[in-house]
Structure 1
């Protein structure tokens, strides 16, 4: 570990900075780093901490522009990696390793099963004593324990909350049965993580906050920039670093036309309260008052609203109509936008589901460069939908017969109906090769695909009035279609083996993962999956999840077919595909949180509707609002206020904003 710098050698001589909402945080940081010595080329002893990852790319770019030559950049962290850095330098922290969600899920299960063995804690209720009955609650426990860690909730306080929990009508019956074990389980969970030398996100935050005062720092300066609200662990870290004088906090809540004089953001007031030192509300560059910036207008009235931002509102009746209006808005501009800087144009998707329609409608037929920075839900992919249909077919099977609509749903899936009859596999590494070069489609055979067979079976099932059918009956039904170069019944038999029969006798989690991986490899080898957008990224995420299920002790856990389906479904719903958005060029397609700390000249935001922005929150089956307050956990109101802040900051920094929303029955602007 590097030697600790004497405090007097690296104390910040400046106050913390409060910038206007419409200022450029990235530009301010770059200029502030170089203000003492514009010729400085080694910035490696400076650290910058942002709320997320995306601003790091923009800061390095801006520093390169200002310096105009080679330089050693500062060390830039997002808050998660900064907490992990500090936790790793704590006593024993370097010996711990990251654990995946599946590994943590099984570990919390074995921890819960062992609760009653020591005689000090209550045993796991019978309803959740098996893995199939526990995993849903195990996933909830993992999220809850991470929040306990980030909010520094001690086990003793959880124990005090148990009587209130058992008396609270907002808790489900299952949760009532689990609440008595919660204090003991969380305490044992912390011991289990330490004993197995593993990290969870909450544990990294807890350990970092606990040991912050004893850490040695290799940095001469630390900028804590762009934060809007802090959890308890972050508050403790910010307080310690500012008390030592090695950190300067930079926020955006200063004077701005977007902020009225009496407007207050409680979360930012709290942030300033926990930070030691003085705040400078004047240490900012002048507000952007360029007379050439267009005046904001309402599209319906064409009346000026503000002197800084040009606003346009677009009302549709659904997402597709919003995209249609976006095509009309940008059709005249896209062809001439070949050399876009990354701070010029942004498409913001508060929910990720519209990503594929936006790409196909706005960018597919243009040469405009773009990159994506957001987490896309794995459950929205064609891969997940195929596997879900496969499970449904198994669950609907009765006495060896498949329910016809479920059977056809599998065969109609694009990855299956376009399967082609190839010669036997010549390589076992086809999926690996595809993942390494996702933009290079595999050569397809010219032999007919399964599509014609599917059409025949659809007609046959209707004509024969069959609601349930055996696989061998279907193979016999198409035997007359067999030709020398297209043995249809043999082809269909192979499809049945891969999509149906391989799933019929599954009992273990590991067996499920192996069969699903084999099915995905088959669709890549024989089908047209490689021709769909982003399939490489989708396949990588899915295979990664399946490999987690194949490895370790969780592979030996048993469950029924519905149980395996439920386990897989919950894991898929929680998995996000991380698009990194590199290289930094062209149109920026961002999730809402990825816009933090960034400014764009023109912004297009879809789905500006209640329930989407801010996102709708679902009832917590374990912690109702009253119990969250008792434990000191943030409530829904704070999340709404933080979303409002980020929204106002994004709009304030833009020259032109297009807001797209739907107004139909049940939808609110």
Structure 2
């Protein structure tokens, strides 16, 4: 192990004198392991050497405190505003608009300072090549060529207004950065980039900080920035610095191997106190490359791989799982087998990927919705996001409210609906803040309560770390807003909170000496493990395609020696190869699925291993096996229990729609009408064709019922009456919406999005019905959405069944002694049919269900009168009323011969009913025949929109 070897060599070389030395590491993790290994070497008492990360050590060069990111962001905005106003441009933007841009500017500023690059040179107007020749003598010809190539693509005449604004900002950036540095200085603050530049320039206020140590020992480094290189060179020449690089001959001797890009220069410039290994070329231990179909398949394979390691229980800290993609952290934690008692997570994790961030987001949306409704109502989506959040969903009161919102499709929820909820967190969230500044305190209070919840697992500990980081950032934001006194609106405050938290990358630090190790690749620097599992070793992920956001173009970056993509690739290449040097087993998994987020190809690092080394490569594929076995047909025999259920129709109504369902599919009839299986209730934010029809039926019902209250129903409906109802259309549609959507006709509906469109459509349909009725008037409405029934006797297998056949007819009216049965339809129902027998055809693909339904109702209605009365069945096709006029209003047309259509008037209806009755009795008899089971339809097209499709498997 590298750190153990370093500890042994240092103790052997310096003994107790190590106490007077500083040992510097790239990051914090290696120092913990180094201290452990050094302790194993010491035979007597001695002071520990001083252990630092590189940033901690450089920080010793100044007495100024480092400004955190939020403070820098606010000071940069102040600097920007002052410079722009002084130049006569004015403050052209506000803090909210500058925030994201400011984050990039701060990155660029830190990089330029850390690499000791002249900010004025980078951002000055370099369009003039003469200026380049005279002002940049320190640049090589190649670097000047880079600059010329970039700036020659700019022409002031061709620039758009946006480019002009950007170039204007670019020209002002040196002044902005200078003022920013002055504002930091005034507050006694600094930042990482400034520390580096001051140290190189000799402006640091503690110049003798390095003299406190006999030696400065740098362990496990790879890439240095330019300021570090200058300082390390100075200390090396003074005989003060020693270097322990972890290197391997394989990538050192090959000048084309990117893993050695930085080390080859470092060894030449600083030397190495440790001999380079030859582990990679001499390795005979195979590397397992596993192709998995999807990220989920990689995670599912993880427990199986972990259980192969004999030290999983005895020495889990010698096993490491590396995540190339930090989004895999949560799934990996869930996949850890139960026998792993301790897990140590050490990696950066974006707060924006956590449940905590989604909670804060939901809180802000609820508060904004409350503000829009004066604290009295909240939009349902935002309330549901809070009530169903993983932190808050385990609450009976809140879940009861969720059920009510979904069941009644409540759009805007009044305060009285949630006032009874006892959960303190929900009480806080649903209490509107008086001022926008109070939003931060509200979120902090919720986090305080959440942090107090007991946690006894890795996920709970992770949540607490995220909450602590978020709480700290909110504290800082609250403090800074108080210092700078910005007047912010609630939406802006919410946006600011989210932007601040979104930029937080939480350093998850655990107990590194215990438990299974889970970390990002960069956290592995200096560390060695016996068993390694790498996830998402895909091209485009390792190394990554995305570079850090910057406003400095690639050509300029190359000219000034700043970081470019190749250098980033080289850093990851070194980290990857170094892991292979001392490990006993390596499993590299990659996603073999090609989609928008994955190339489906393994990282080129794996291909390089195969072609550049003699390391045995074992390739395997893990897929999600899908055996496409045909489902067995579902057949439900009519046993005693089923026959008993069928007995309900001796009292309950067997409706024409149930008969239609039976003819469409016997199994659907069984699920819907016998077993009463209903679709799960959920929020109805999109209105389907069925719901649209229900609202239309209900609106027309309300209109005629209101008319009935003002006059006796047996009186004729006149043209004047219909004109009166036309004025009630909006009231009826709103009431129908409330009844069908919210199950309460008095519940107001917020007509937003598709609801507003559907309301207008239904209003048009209702008015079309009234226009048609006005033309048909006068008439008398006899029944409106009322049950009608008759008794039918059948004898399947010699057993007599008296069945109540009936249902709800949309409307029955009478004019000139003729009864009309009217069915409202909003779909694509046709009025034509060839024969009555066809209406009962189970194998007919386009069977006219609407026609059969009205004919059955015609028969039932006739049975309610003592004598044969004239009856016709009609269809109000509301979508085509205006186009088809009066010819379609109360007639069905039956196809006879070639091209001839005959209207079904009341004379023809007697014949239709006569043909319908025996076929109807045959179907009813089949339903109650215990020898005929309930099975699936053979026409699978009918299964496309069937609500039981999932159960059936079609």
Match among 239, 248, 251 for residue 242 of structure 2: 248
The answer on 1:576 being equivalent to 2:505 is yes
**Which residues in structure 2 correspond to 1:338-487 (within 5 Å)?**
338-340=313-315, 342=317, 344-363=318-337, 365-393=338-366, 402-419=378-395, 448-461=396-409, 466=410, 468-472=411-415, 474-475=417-418
Contact 1:157 1:631 in 2 (8 A): no
Match among 57, 66, 71 for residue 41 of structure 2: 66
**Which residues in structure 2 correspond to 1:94-109 (within 5 Å)?**
94=63, 96-109=64-77
CA–CA distance in 2 between the matches of 1:455 and 1:524? 28
Q: Aligned with 2:19: secondary structure?
A: coil
- Spell out, residue by residue over 1:71-112, the C-alpha distance to the aligned partner (whole angstroms, 9 max, x if none): 322212111111112x22xxxxx2x11322222211111222
The CA deviation at 1:605 is 0.9
**Change over 3 Å in CA distance of 1:619–1:280 after alignment to 2:** closer
The CA deviation at 1:247 is 0.8
The CA deviation at 1:332 is 4.6
Q: Aligned with 1:354: secondary structure?
A: helix
Q: Aligned with 1:106: secondary structure?
A: helix
- Spell out, residue by residue over 1:474-515, the C-alpha distance to the aligned partner (whole angstroms, 9 max, x if none): 45xxxxxxxxxxxxx422797775224425x643xx433112
Q: Aligned with 2:477: secondary structure?
A: helix
Contact 1:212 1:240 in 2 (8 A): no
Matched residue, 2:470: 542
**Change over 3 Å in CA distance of 1:472–1:341 after alignment to 2:** closer
Matched residue, 2:8: 31
- Spell out, residue by residue over 1:171-218, the C-alpha distance to the aligned partner (whole angstroms, 9 max, x if none): 975644521220101112222222221021211222222229953512
**Change over 3 Å in CA distance of 1:577–1:621 after alignment to 2:** closer
Matched residue, 2:909: none
Matched residue, 2:299: 323
Contact 2:350 2:503 in 1 (8 A): yes
The two structures, once aligned, show a CA RMSD in angstroms of 3.3
CA–CA distance in 2 between the matches of 1:515 and 1:252? 50
**Change over 3 Å in CA distance of 1:306–1:573 after alignment to 2:** farther
- Spell out, residue by residue over 1:635-654, the C-alpha distance to the aligned partner (whole angstroms, 9 max, x if none): 11210121112111112221
The CA deviation at 1:338 is 3.1
Matched residue, 1:180: 171
Matched residue, 1:612: 541
The CA deviation at 1:633 is 1.7
Match among 500, 512, 519 for residue 446 of structure 2: 519
Contact 1:402 1:470 in 2 (8 A): yes
Q: Note the residue ranges of structure 1 that are not aligned, 5 or more in a row.
A: 1-23, 89-93, 290-304, 420-447, 476-488
TM-score (norm. length: structure 1):
0.76
The answer on 1:158 being equivalent to 2:122 is yes
Contact 1:338 1:369 in 2 (8 A): no
Match among 79, 83, 99 for residue 115 of structure 1: 83
CA–CA distance in 1 between the matches of 2:314 and 2:252? 31
CA–CA distance in 2 between the matches of 1:139 and 1:204? 19
CA–CA distance in 1 between the matches of 2:506 and 2:531? 26
The CA deviation at 1:240 is 0.7
Contact 2:534 2:588 in 1 (8 A): yes
Q: Aligned with 1:347: secondary structure?
A: strand
**Change over 3 Å in CA distance of 1:145–1:123 after alignment to 2:** farther
CA–CA distance in 2 between the matches of 1:170 and 1:592? 43
The CA deviation at 1:257 is 8.5
Contact 1:113 1:123 in 2 (8 A): no
The answer on 1:83 being equivalent to 2:58 is yes
Matched residue, 2:695: none
Contact 1:175 1:622 in 2 (8 A): no
CA–CA distance in 1 between the matches of 2:342 and 2:195? 38
Contact 1:150 1:205 in 2 (8 A): yes
Q: How many aligned residue pairs are there?
A: 561
**Change over 3 Å in CA distance of 1:323–1:225 after alignment to 2:** same
The CA deviation at 1:170 is 12
Contact 2:220 2:525 in 1 (8 A): yes
Match among 420, 429, 432 for residue 502 of structure 1: 432
Q: Aligned with 2:196: secondary structure?
A: helix
CA–CA distance in 1 between the matches of 2:82 and 2:446? 37
**Change over 3 Å in CA distance of 1:230–1:239 after alignment to 2:** same
Contact 1:64 1:71 in 2 (8 A): no
CA–CA distance in 1 between the matches of 2:19 and 2:188? 30
Contact 2:243 2:272 in 1 (8 A): no
The answer on 1:314 being equivalent to 2:314 is no
CA–CA distance in 1 between the matches of 2:161 and 2:297? 41
The CA deviation at 1:452 is 2.7
**Change over 3 Å in CA distance of 1:523–1:453 after alignment to 2:** farther
CA–CA distance in 2 between the matches of 1:360 and 1:53? 27
Contact 1:375 1:576 in 2 (8 A): yes
**Change over 3 Å in CA distance of 1:324–1:124 after alignment to 2:** farther
Q: Aligned with 2:587: secondary structure?
A: strand
**Change over 3 Å in CA distance of 1:280–1:516 after alignment to 2:** closer
CA–CA distance in 1 between the matches of 2:305 and 2:250? 29
The CA deviation at 1:620 is 3.5
**Change over 3 Å in CA distance of 1:449–1:472 after alignment to 2:** closer
Consecutive aligned runs of 4 or more in structure 1 exceeding 6 Å deviation: 168-172, 492-496, 527-531
Contact 1:348 1:590 in 2 (8 A): yes
Matched residue, 2:31: 56
CA–CA distance in 2 between the matches of 1:170 and 1:588? 52
Q: Note the residue ranges of structure 2 that are not aligned, 5 or more in a row.
A: 128-149, 603-954
Matched residue, 1:268: 263
CA–CA distance in 1 between the matches of 2:170 and 2:517? 45
Match among 618, 621, 633 for residue 562 of structure 2: 633
**Change over 3 Å in CA distance of 1:368–1:312 after alignment to 2:** farther
